[in-house]
Amino acid sequence: MRLPEHDSTDSLSASPDSAATLGPAGVSNGAGPSNGLKKGLATNGATALAGNGAAVAKRGKLVARVDLQGKPLYSGSYVDREEYIRLVVQSLRDAGYEESATTLESESGYAMETPDVSDFRQFVMEGSWTKAESVLTRLVGSGDEAGLWDARFLICQQKYLELLEAKKVSAALNVLRNEIRPMGLEPERLHLLSSYLMCEHPDDLRERAQWDGTLGTSRQRLLAEIHRFVPSSLMIPPQRIVSLLEQSRSWQQSRCLYHNSPAYSLGYSLYTDHQCDKDAFPSVNTLKLQAHSDEVWGVAWSHDGRYLASASKDQTAIIWMIGPQSDPNLRDVRPHHILRDHPFPVSCIAWSLDDSVLLTGSEAQIRLWNTRTGLCIRLLEEHSETVTSLEWLPDGSGFVSGGLDRQIIRWDAAGGKIDSWDEAAVRVTDLAVTPDCRRLVVVGLIGVPPLEPSRDGRTVSGSGGGNMTLEDLVDQHKMIVYDLITQEEEMTLSLEGDLSSVKISSDCQFALINHAPNEIHLYDLISGRLTRKFTGQQQGHHIIRSCFGGVDGNFVVSGSEDGKVYLWHRDTGALLEVLPGHGPGSVNAVAWNPTRERMFASCSDDCMVYVWEPPPPPRIEELSQEDVKGKGKTRQLWEGDGVASSSRIH
């Protein structure tokens, strides 16, 4: 909006002879005579206007009004000049440059906001509610009755709460009866407001109303709420330029396939478009952990990112200590504990929230291990068939287990059984709890136990005898979403193909499911729809567990039956990397380090656990079975041709 023009008799003026020449930006190149000010007009920094092109005295300098032609900011630009200038004025004021903002208003002729808006802000911030309501009608406009009603209610509610906080109960009751009640609120809402009268202490009021009080940010929040009902051309949303920059940053991140840096890292610059360096992406195996004697089926990082647990067919689980990343050449990497005593292969593992306990699943048994001592704390034998999944609750209160026996059991942190679901509709192959601790997502198959694949891989045998083909199991696989508290099914999807794993995104919205053959699916848990497919890896008959990766979970990582690791961009589905390195057999599981955004681990049928980091690392460290027995540690130099030479440290 333009500032009002003044008549020549009322404006501040300077002699044309003394006015300085204006540069391209319309800024005066010199100072005019101080006696050009009319008597009685202040010179404290508020700029008076002298009409188009006239110079105005401001702190002893001349500020001239610039009238540039055309609405666009530049030739061929879509940016409106007035909108841009008003946002710059707002941004200058937000940053504390009040005089510069006032000068820009004077020079451009565009005011950031009308006097009504300025008055309204002031009235709200000082609690002058009657004055604020009188201005509100002019801001919202009579044509928006619903918006005006909502804005008035917000003001009345703020006034009511402030009176209660000040223990002016009679005045608050008067507002409730004479101002709020006639507005025709729903009875439940009116009853809730009335209940605040019973609060004996202001702290009780603030807690019950979820309101931070007069001295808090409640009035600023009130202004932000009322912004919704006032045209943005009149009342510019707060910190609008910052919001636009944030949107630009988010868009650039979404276009950056290898984006993997913290949202507010110092690496962001307004001078250039954001682009993450591909060389900073984890694509080289920097650690080869070799201590298992058989296939490795699972890996899981501790929450502090310092330890890596691996589960193997060799009936052991190993807790590896992965030293700091500061100096890879000297990084201390060794088995911290080897957890034996499993009578069967270890199929699944899970860390407690504080990393003090590691769960292991071995056939129908669950063991709790003290990660500091390496001793077994407790043995649980409630399942009757193989335990396929163990998941700690995000609040640390306990964990959930699922198995092929259709049982889903909830345990406390010490391993005490809390309850179990009624027999699940599927033989559970994996489960996951959403980070908000509200839902449990289960994947599995509807088969008559026990189901075992025949040698030719084409048929499965059931306990009733006879064979059925894999095609007979079409639509026999399901994803089920339960309410974690009530145990009721919220959503059930029948899916074709084997479902071997499920992971939940950090925002609780998406479920990542390994789906044989040869696909990974991303499902929206809100709409229940398939969002995206990730293809390229091979999965036919083996259980492969994928995961989200990166700072914002914007990568999808999976192993494959061809012995490689595959990485995709989550939002586009673009295949970013195919990483070789493992030996023959399947890469069975991957896990991204929760504290080191450029590190993840994989495990394979080749008995190895690999740790992947950005290239080029100066060395690879490898631990062998021999080292586990106490003979020392092997460090390997990384050669350019891939040949390693080792030196033994005793």
DSSP 299-327: EEE-TTSSEEEEEETTS-EEEEEE--SS-
Q: pLDDT per residue over 491-518, tens digit each?
A: 999 888 889 999 999 999 999 999 889 9
Spatial contact of 51 and 33, defined as CB atoms under 8 Å apart: no
Structure-block tokens of residue 356: 């003090």
| DSSP β-bridge partners for residue 575 | 568
- For residue 331, give Cα distances in angstroms to 64, 286, 650: 65, 11, 15
The predicted structure's pLDDT at residue 277? 80
What is the sign, positive or negative, of the torsion defined by CA atoms of 504, 510, 511, 516?
Answer: negative
CA distance 575 to 14: 68
Residues 6+ positions from 529 with CB-CB distance below 8 Å: 523
CA distance 114 to 486: 54
| DSSP β-bridge partners for residue 566 | 558, 578
Name the CATH superfamily housing domain 278-649: YVTN repeat-like/Quinoprotein amine dehydrogenase (2.130.10.10)
The predicted structure's pLDDT at residue 5? 53
The one-letter amino acid code at 7 reads: D
The CA-CA-CA angle for residues 429, 303, 398, to 5°, reads 55
Spatial contact of 456 and 442, defined as CB atoms under 8 Å apart: no
Q: Where are the domains of the chain?
A: 1-112, 116-238, 278-649
The predicted structure's pLDDT at residue 329? 62
The predicted structure's pLDDT at residue 266? 58
Distance of CA 417 to the CA centre of its chain: 33
Average pLDDT taken over every residue of the chain:
82
Residues of the chain with pLDDT under 50: 6-58, 60, 449-475, 617-618, 628-650
The predicted structure's pLDDT at residue 282? 92
CA distance 61 to 55: 9
Residues 6+ positions from 533 with CB-CB distance below 8 Å: 519, 520, 521, 522, 573
Strand 587-592 versus strand 55-58 pairing type: unpaired
Question: Is the pTM of the predicted complex or chain greater than 0.75?
Answer: no
Spatial contact of 274 and 256, defined as CB atoms under 8 Å apart: yes
